[in-house]
Amino acid sequence: ERAQLAETMMRHLSVAVAMIISAAMATTVVGAFTASFVSLPRFMPPATRLAPLETSARRCRRASSLAANSDADADADAEDSGEWTSLTDSSHAPFAVRKRVLEVASEGAPAVESGREVSIHYSGTLVGAGAGVSDWTARDAVECWLSTQQGVPEGVAESFLEKDVGGSKLTDGTFDDDFAGTELGVSNRMQCKKLVMAARRLAKQVEEYPEGGAEFDSSEERGPYKFVVGKGKAIKGMDLAVSTMRVGEKAEVICRSDYAYGKEGLRKSDGTVIVPPYATLRFEIDLLESQ
């Protein structure tokens, strides 16, 4: 009986120990689960919890902002490094007026505002053979020259672009009656002859001005030139360039004839040519003051 009683007690003790061990293990698992649950993101501060859920729209807005800042920085870097930048609509007249900074204005220097009087020193020279005519692209030829000719048939401008009729073809003898009639589709003989004669006048200009660099004007002897920006008191190219400058800045500017003296050029009262027709001009401009 004693042996049976001892065996029964040992069996009950083993069961009790097993129950204690199971309870301890359950407590460990629950504790681990609770610790893990407490560490979930929804218990993080709101800003931290929402960060992984940032919307695509917000990311796009931020990317666009960074891209815009990058473009602005690139433009500023281009000016600071003296690279050429276009001041005209690139889809219509790419680089019709272009500028590069020669000397950067000091930090905080005032910018030019439209309607304000400015004071500048400048010098102006002719650009290239024929005062730039030889360097015309087909687009230049259409916008600077063909657009000023009277009675040009519809579709000729498109033919200029298609056949790549730039300054060289207008002035090297290619542009004759046969070319204008056959290649460009100018069927009216009188209009064809007028265009050919106008092209020959351009070719003569190339002969008269074989090289660029001739200075035609300067403020050095007369003193600073003053004018009101945006009021048509200076040629379009100079007015546009100065409107982008800051006081103390010095820049080089090149402008096509349609932003300079156009098809008439510039003459003295006695008829002496100062700037030939359709001339591309280069200016060095030093912005002294803006009031």
For the segment 83-136, what is each residue's pLDDT rounded down to a tens digit?
999 999 766 666 899 999 999 999 999 999 999 999 999 999 999 888 889 999
Read off the pLDDT of residues 55-76 as tens digits, 9 standing for 90 and up: 333 333 333 343 334 444 444 4
Q: Would the pLDDT of 162 be above 60?
A: yes
Tokens describing residue 136? 């015309």
Model's pTM, two decimal places? 0.70
Tell me, rounded to whole angstroms, the distance of Cα 88 from its chain centroid: 9
Distance separating the N- and C-terminal Cα atoms of the chain: 122
Read off the pLDDT of residues 2-21 as tens digits, 9 standing for 90 and up: 666 666 667 666 656 566 66
Q: Would the pLDDT of 257 be above 70?
A: yes
86-119 burial, b at 16+ Cβ within 10 Å, e below that, comes to ebbeeeebebbbbbebeebbeeeeeebeeeeebb
Q: How confident is the model at residue 236 (pLDDT cuts 50, 70, 90)?
A: very high
Read off the pLDDT of residues 261-291 as tens digits, 9 standing for 90 and up: 999 999 999 999 999 999 999 999 999 999 8
Q: How confident is the model at residue 229 (pLDDT cuts 50, 70, 90)?
A: very high
